[in-house]
Structure 1
């Protein structure tokens, strides 16, 4: 009877690798944030044991770094392609800036990781790319560090704040509803103490996050080029 049974084909599973682990970690981080990334949850997702994962990564800190590096590398690859395709330094800066902005928007946990490890490779790659464009803009050597740092801090700061706003918004509330609520609260502030904030309340309601972000990048680049 055993010989007459149809033989089941052997199931061939993709071997566990560092790349698969990092990809699964990114998925968990996107779904549940840093708190949801545990080796037990990762082992369940990969249908393996925690010990097999430890063979490829030593701990959570290394895994967070690798996940951040993987996402930033994707954004950098697109930005570098733009820079090597004959784009002006200003266009190259905008390409990188919006790439990082979109990456943080899609993966809010990245902003925290970049701020937490300023000396590690993902952040350094962004800084290096910005610095090269600052050089290409003809900025004096003495102002290179200040100019590149201003761009980097703006990109990370606004990208991180945008992600924080998205997380703060209730799941059942749209972005438009959230902005309308905040705008209304601004418009009702004390007229003497918050005269300026009240005056731009309607602009807050109608603004586009991405366009405002790039407008800020343009302002910084315009100031940088004035250094020439």
Structure 2
């Protein structure tokens, strides 16, 4: 009798973790997070669920691996990378664009603050904060403030993605929110009422970059405070 074990081993080894992650990203991008199941993944890869479990423990681990793959793919132009301030700005914008392209990434980043993808973001930002000459005792606060701003964006996009999955598009959602803001008590919410007219047409990318630039501008006093005096 011919044993079937070698065939099973070949099939398991042929199905790489990278192939599983790539297929998962295709499902996530095309159908959303709810559509990602091991059964759907097995069908797409023409294999059994057991072969997938050999590489990935569960759906949460798969989402974390897919998110890490996306974040790891963010690159900064070599010329820009030589200037730390511009490098932070470019990397942050890369994360923004990644979340814009893959809204499920925002959901995963906001779900688990200790996952490897978050560590990649912290390392990318923190290394450039050091290069800017921020004092050692301020580097933690500066780097985590920038990272927290980026992850705050991730949470917003995760919420927006869920709204879209429910059949509500961004324009409609913002119009409805702006209408509610406009009805607030003018004495208690004068500023909110003022910006209500700007909400529906605001540019998310422009708003995000403005926030990053404000954070970067706040680094300057820290650098000058420790700069040697001539």
**Structure-2-length-normalised TM-score:** 0.81
- State which drifts further: 45-54 or 176-185: 176-185
Q: Which runs of 5+ in 1 are unaligned?
A: 1-14
Flag the 1:172–1:64 CA change in 2: closer, same or farther, 3 A.
Answer: closer
* Matched-pair contact (CA < 8 Å) for 1:189–1:198: yes
Partners of 1:83 and 1:89 within 8 A in 2: no
- The total of aligned residue pairs comes to 210
Task: Judge conservation of contact 1:176–1:205 (CA < 8 Å) in 2.
Answer: yes
CA distance in 2, matches of 1:137, 1:159: 25
* Partner in structure 1 of residue 227 of structure 2: none
Task: Measure how far apart 1:153 and its partner are.
Answer: 0.4
Query: Matches of 1:54 and 1:115 in 2, distance apart?
Result: 25
CA distance in 1, matches of 2:210, 2:120: 23
Q: Could you tell me whether the CA contact under 8 Å between 1:186 and 1:198 is conserved in 2?
A: yes
Deviation at 1:57, TM superposition (A): 2.3
**Cα distance, 1:212 vs structure 2:** 0.4
Question: Aligned ranges for residues 41-52 of structure 1 at < 5 Å?
Answer: 41-52=40-51
- 1:193 aligns with 188
Cross-structure match for 1:160:
155
Kindly state the Cα deviation for residue 149 of structure 1 after the two structures are TM-superposed: 0.3
The corresponding residue for 2:142 is 147
Check 1:119–1:159 CA distance in 2 against 1; reply closer, same or farther (3 A cut).
Answer: closer
Q: Which moved more, 1:213-222 or 1:199-208?
A: 199-208
- Measured after TM superposition, the shift of residue 198 of structure 1 is 0.3
Aligned to 1:202, the other structure's residue is in SS state: coil
Partner SS for 2:187: coil
For residue 117 of structure 1, report the CA deviation from its aligned partner. 3.1
Q: Where do 5+ consecutive residues of structure 2 fail to align? A: 1-13, 224-230
How far apart, in 1, do the equivalents of 2:83 and 2:185 lie? 45
Q: What's the C-alpha RMSD, in Å, of the aligned pairs?
A: 2.2
Partner of 1:7: none
Secondary structure of residue in 2 paired with 1:35? helix
